[in-house]
Structure 1
Amino acid sequence: MLGLNRRLKALAAEGGLIRVGLIGAGQMGRGLISQIEGMSGMKVVATADIFPENAKQAYAKAGVSPSLVKETGDREQADKAIAAGQVIVTDQAEMIAHLDQVDVIVDATGIPDVGAQIAWQAIMSKKHIVMLNVEADVTVGPLLHKLASSAGVVYTGSAGDEPGAVMELYDFADALGFEVVALGKGKNNPLNLAANPDSAREEAQLKGASPKMLASFQDGTKTMVEMTAVANATGFLPDVPGMHGPKAKLAELPTLFSLQEHGGLLKQKQIVDYVDGVAPGVFAIITTDKPEVHAEMKYLKMGNGPHYVLYRPYHLTSLETPLTIARAFFDRQPTIAPYHGLTAETVAVAKQSLAAGEALDGIGGFTAYGRIVSAEEKQKQNALPIGLIGPHVRLKRSVEQGAIITYDDIEFTDQPFIVTLRELLDRGM
């Protein structure tokens, strides 16, 4: 992201502004608004939330005067207000994409179907779209990326989100000609496949988080989804379904992530994984066939080789999203996108024994968690992507605890937009 600070200051000095439209004023959205308020050349000029008061409070916490905040669901009024220097709050998310006074849209909802709709509307309106919604991306991202490219706009994941942070390490190493053996992230808590909103509620209340969201971290779904996004961006694969997920210290990673015949875990190179013990960081395991490069790496105290770890010990989630916004605006380049299509998938696995007639709740709920598998394995099993689950999915037959839920097991009682997009993707469109 070198030089973006100077380019943003130059834009501001010329009277320019990157005008951001935000959907979702939860934790991620609030942080984004406040971060951008401290920057040059960028402003969140419109924010939509099903509860407009959340957006108003987000602006207030960012130091925006209430006199500058206007609530409206009218497109013409909104555009006029923004042009006059005000910011807009609304409960009409679909309006944001149609505002002339918005350049880049950010989806911070975390809801797969909503994210799919937001991205579609942004692309159809020829606006860049930044997804803080990895669940939507791993479900229909390849289609949205293709559509955005055809429309001449950027579809991208976010800097600061772990897939974006991993991608920065990958691009750095790959550009330098290193062989990238493995890409991964730390997991903040031990894997608990049985986690649900009830079991997560007390901790969620202490952290001011949603119990469902916290449960999706604890049951591993979020980790599986994030590394699926990395796989689809790089072409890497999970070495085994669900990844290895060892407990380890940073210094152990170069040996762990080597082939089994060399004392490591891996059956193959170019894999994605996670580690309990290096959170909140992300990492890349690299090597080289050049003796002089090995000598230099040892001199630089990067280890004894032949594998070395590149490690970033932080990721600042939505606080880094402005960097992706700026890169999309200035250079029309994504931070991370599904360049390789569906290389991997996160599929739904029964969290408990499920009976015929039962509806599936959403990610982080009581009925299913996600497991990363190769796209080939997903096809072989006719498995249901985790991003499609919800009350609109009903079981036609019982599914045992721990079994992958397949399309043969379910029927859709409704047709959310993300299901329609996924059908288009699966038909090769």
Structure 2
Amino acid sequence: MTSLNNKLKELDENNKHIKVSIIGAGLMGKGLVSQMMLVKGMEPSLVVSNKISDGVEAYTLAGISKDDIVIARTLSEINIAMESNKYVVSDITEYATKPNLVDVVVDATGVPDAGARIALDSIENKKHIVMLNVEADVVVGPILNKMAKKAGVVYTGTAGDEPGSVKEIFDFAEAAGFEVLAIGKGKNNPIDYEATPDSVREKALKSKLNPVKLASFIDGTNTMVEMAAMANGTGFIPDIRGGYGPTTEVNDLPNVYSLKEEGGILNKYRIVDYAHGVAPGVFAIVTTSLPQVHHEMQFLKMGSGPNYVLYRPYHLTSLETPISIAKAYFYKEATIAPIYEKTVAEVITMAKKDLKKGERLDGIGEYTVLGSIDTCEVAKSENLVPIGLINNNAVIKRDIKKGECITYDMVDLDTNTTIYKLRMEQEKRA
């Protein structure tokens, strides 16, 4: 990290900057713009948002004068403004990945199909792509990562989001010689499977958060998506559908995440899960085969063993994204990305309420569906639909009961989306 810091300082001393395009100016996008203004050698050059006012606000919150902000609606206007060292706002997403001076693109939309399109366009335009959009990654991350490598650019999840933070601990543990048994994240609110944008609206608006996004946290879908990203980035899998989600404390995590015959909850090791009572942290459960290492871990007050917890008590979401931007730019290295050509875990679709034949669905964090994690093998054998393929053009072909898993033969999907086409290609290649 010191080397990365020095490289950024050196860039800044030479009056050069990593030019970044950010799509999405919600809570995460605005936070990233402000944080990036504090990072040497890096510049949030372009903000693309459906609402121009949100893009402008992202800059003004970061201390940028309106005189230095240009609103552009053509690629030529964007290029000219960037060459004049202006901060640029646009509401045309297709231009986010095309400007000449952009080095790295960040997708902060959280919309699966939008994320697939943005990532694909970034790769085709030879730009590194940092995905704050885990919702797209867990559906088509493997094929996008493969395309990025072929194009000579980096496809990566972000530092600061739980999957990226877990992967940092995982990599540290493996590099240090430990055996990793389980990885996971904390969850800071009880799951309410019936949460909708309406039921969480007041709380969301107080936090300046999109009610759809907050509903996806509370109904558990976001947690399932994050665990799937952890799985796809490490090869670990959920032990059971939906995970365990025990309520525990940090010091007890090694006991909880041990095998059943050892007094824990697990059927097997090399799993991903989540736990109440340890949020906002992330963790890895590790062990070792050598007695001297056990002795030293116990001397270091890491517990009595044989399992130990490596715990990070925070994750700073988009405020850490500059680290992933810099790693991609300087080292062509991903913070977290799928390690195989297909998914290891899937976020399958479940009915949030009773659904009637002919009814249209919506998407993550909305009114009709929610997600649960399972292994890729189970999802494939049961013909289950990844939730990232569901949108408001998907139509139910028969009545479905609340809590029932949705299979491909139950729904007419929107086959015209980028994410659907990429997913079909991914399954052919795998």
TM-score normalised by L of structure 2: 0.98
- The whole-number CA distance in structure 2 between the counterparts of 1:382 and 1:98 is 38
Q: Shift of the alpha carbon at 1:205?
A: 2.4
CA RMSD of aligned residues (A): 1.0
The residue number in structure 1 matching 2:100 is: 100
The residue number in structure 2 matching 1:76 is: 76
Alignment of 1:6-405 (within 5 A): 6-340=6-340, 341-405=342-406
- The whole-number CA distance in structure 2 between the counterparts of 1:96 and 1:285 is 40
Q: Shift of the alpha carbon at 1:413?
A: 4.8
Work out whether residues 392 and 414 of structure 1, in 8 Å CA contact, stay in contact via their aligned partners in 2: no
User: Residue deviations 1:38-91, cap 9 Å, x none?
Assistant: 111000111111111111111011011111111112212221221221111101
Work out whether residues 163 and 336 of structure 1, in 8 Å CA contact, stay in contact via their aligned partners in 2: yes
**Bigger mean CA deviation after superposition, 415-424 or 326-335:** 415-424
Name the SS of the counterpart of 1:120 in structure 2. helix
Code of the aligned partner of 2:141: G
Name the SS of the counterpart of 1:349 in structure 2. strand
User: Residue deviations 1:78-121, cap 9 Å, x none?
Assistant: 21221221111101111121110100000000111111110000
The residue number in structure 1 matching 2:413 is: 412
- The whole-number CA distance in structure 2 between the counterparts of 1:277 and 1:328 is 34
- The whole-number CA distance in structure 1 between the counterparts of 2:185 and 2:212 is 21
Work out whether residues 415 and 421 of structure 2, in 8 Å CA contact, stay in contact via their aligned partners in 1: no
User: Residue deviations 1:204-245, cap 9 Å, x none?
Assistant: 122222221111111110000001001001000100010111
- The whole-number CA distance in structure 2 between the counterparts of 1:78 and 1:207 is 32
- The whole-number CA distance in structure 2 between the counterparts of 1:54 and 1:128 is 24
- The whole-number CA distance in structure 1 between the counterparts of 2:392 and 2:278 is 36
With over 3 angstroms needed to count, the CA separation of the structure-2 counterparts of 1:360 and 1:407, relative to structure 1, is same
Name the SS of the counterpart of 1:320 in structure 2. helix
Q: Shift of the alpha carbon at 1:202?
A: 2.2
- The whole-number CA distance in structure 2 between the counterparts of 1:216 and 1:190 is 12
Structure 1: runs of 5+ lacking an equivalent: none
Work out whether residues 392 and 415 of structure 1, in 8 Å CA contact, stay in contact via their aligned partners in 2: no
Code of the aligned partner of 1:24: G
Code of the aligned partner of 1:257: Y
Name the SS of the counterpart of 1:190 in structure 2. coil
Q: Shift of the alpha carbon at 1:19?
A: 0.3
- The whole-number CA distance in structure 2 between the counterparts of 1:50 and 1:77 is 18
Percent identity between matched residues is: 50
- The whole-number CA distance in structure 2 between the counterparts of 1:221 and 1:68 is 40
TM-score normalised by L of structure 1: 0.98
Name the SS of the counterpart of 1:327 in structure 2. helix
Work out whether residues 185 and 274 of structure 2, in 8 Å CA contact, stay in contact via their aligned partners in 1: yes
Work out whether residues 390 and 413 of structure 2, in 8 Å CA contact, stay in contact via their aligned partners in 1: no
Code of the aligned partner of 2:34: S
**Bigger mean CA deviation after superposition, 3-12 or 172-181:** 3-12
- The whole-number CA distance in structure 2 between the counterparts of 1:215 and 1:369 is 10
Q: Shift of the alpha carbon at 1:139?
A: 0.7
- The whole-number CA distance in structure 1 between the counterparts of 2:39 and 2:269 is 41
- The whole-number CA distance in structure 2 between the counterparts of 1:139 and 1:106 is 18
Name the SS of the counterpart of 1:39 in structure 2. coil
- The whole-number CA distance in structure 1 between the counterparts of 2:240 and 2:349 is 16
Question: Structure 1 residue runs of 4+, over 3 Å off?
Answer: none
- The whole-number CA distance in structure 1 between the counterparts of 2:373 and 2:267 is 16
Name the SS of the counterpart of 2:146 in structure 1. helix
Name the SS of the counterpart of 2:2 in structure 1. coil
Name the SS of the counterpart of 2:429 in structure 1. coil
Code of the aligned partner of 2:396: L
Work out whether residues 236 and 343 of structure 1, in 8 Å CA contact, stay in contact via their aligned partners in 2: yes
User: Residue deviations 1:399-418, cap 9 Å, x none?
Assistant: 11111100010002552211
Query: Would you say how many aligned residue pairs link Structure 1 and Structure 2?
Result: 429
Code of the aligned partner of 2:421: T
User: Residue deviations 1:125-149, cap 9 Å, x none?
Assistant: 0100000000000011101000000
Name the SS of the counterpart of 2:336 in structure 1. coil
Code of the aligned partner of 2:73: G
Work out whether residues 391 and 414 of structure 2, in 8 Å CA contact, stay in contact via their aligned partners in 1: no
